Amino acid sequence: MSYNINSNYGQIVATNSTPKWIGKTFYVTAVTWANAWKLQDLFKIDNDWLTRVYATITLALAACVADRGDSIVIAPDYTTAPTDAELTSAWTKWVRIVYANDPETGEQLAMTESKALPATTTGTIFTITGLVEIISIVWIVTTVIETQACNLKLSTVSNSATTDICADLNISADAEQSRMSITWTFANAMINTAKWVPVARQATSIISQEWTIIATTSATNTWEIRWMVRYKPLQEWSRIV
C-alpha cells in the first residue's frame, strides 16, 4: 500500500528519517520508553489494518509479509538483542532489520539507560553481533560519583579471551554530566571531560566481531552512568546492543 506524501509515513520518509524500502516499515520500541506513545500516535494502524509499532521484534516480524520488502526499525531504547529465531525469520521473509541511525553516514547508535556499574567486579555493557566498525564509545555521568578511589577500565571478551581497550582511570568524585571516552590506544587511560568542555571525536576506529564489551571497577561507588557507542555495521545483521 502506498501512502500520500502528506501522511505521517510519507512525511517521515521524505525527511530521510526512515529507510526507503519498497514494503512496509514497522517500528519496535520499549513500551516503557517516554516517547513510545508518540511513536504509536504518529504511526497509527494503516489502511490495511496493520499495527506499525510493536514492543518486540517477534511481534513486528509476525506482521511482515515474505518478499514484500518490509523493514523493521529498532528504536534506540530497545536494548534486547535479536534472537536466533528472530534473525532466521527475518532472513526467511527477506525482512531488513535496521537500527535508528544517521541516514547520511550509515552510522548507528546503541545506548543504555542510566545504570550503576558493577560493584568491585565486571559487568557487560554491550554485545556485538557480526562484524562492525566501532567509531566511538562515550559515557555520561548522570549521578555524581561517590568520593572514593575507584579505577574503571573497559575490556572486550571474545572466545573467553579478554583484552583491555583502555587503561585504568580513577573516577572518584566525577561530576554529574561529565563525559568519559577512550582513545583506542589501548595503553591509554580513559579521558574524563568536564560538562562544558568539548569532547574531540576519536581519531581512529576499530573493526570488531562477536565481542562483549565489559566494564571493570576496583571499588563499590554509588553513581549512575549512561553508555553510548556509535558504529557502522559491516555485515548484514551486524549490530551492537
DSSP E strands: which ranges in 130-185?
131-143, 151-158, 161-164, 169-170, 179-181
SS3 content of the chain, % helix, strand, coil (to 5): 15, 35, 50
pLDDT for res 12: 57
> What DSSP character marks residue 196?
T
pLDDT for res 5: 46
Burial group, residue 62, by CB count within 10 angstroms (0-12, 13-18, 19+):
exposed
CB neighbours (10 Å) of residue 4? 9
Please give the average per-residue pLDDT across 28-48, as a whole number: 76
User: Taking 80 as the threshold, does the pLDDT of residue 172 lie above it?
Assistant: yes
Between CA 191 and CA 52, with CA 240 as vertex, the angle to 5 degrees is: 130
Domain with CATH 3.40.50 in the chain: 8-99
pLDDT band at 201 (very low <50, low <70, confident <90, very high): low
Domain with CATH 2.60.120 in the chain: 108-240
Q: What is the pLDDT of residues 125-168, one digit of tens each?
A: 999 988 899 988 888 888 888 899 999 999 999 887 899 999 99
pLDDT for res 8: 58
pLDDT for res 17: 52
8-99 — its CATH code?
A: 3.40.50
Calculate the CA 36 to chain-centre distance.
17
Please give the average per-residue pLDDT across 53-74, as a whole number: 91
pLDDT for res 48: 80
More confident residue, 114 or 221: 221
User: Taking 50 as the threshold, does the pLDDT of residue 2 lie above it?
Assistant: no
With H, G, I as helix, E, B as strand and everything else as coil, classify residue 92: helix
Closest CA to 213 of 102, 136, 103: 136
Maximum distance among all Cα pairs of the chain, rounded to whole angstroms: 60
Q: Which CATH number fits domain 108-240: 3.30.43, 2.60.120, 1.10.10, 1.10.3470?
A: 2.60.120
> What DSSP character marks residue 234?
-
pLDDT band at 193 (very low <50, low <70, confident <90, very high): confident
pTM over 0.85: no
Kindly report the backbone phi and psi dihedral angles of residue 60, in degrees, each rounded to the nearest multiple of 5, phi listed first. Answer: -65, -40
First to last CA, the chain: 32
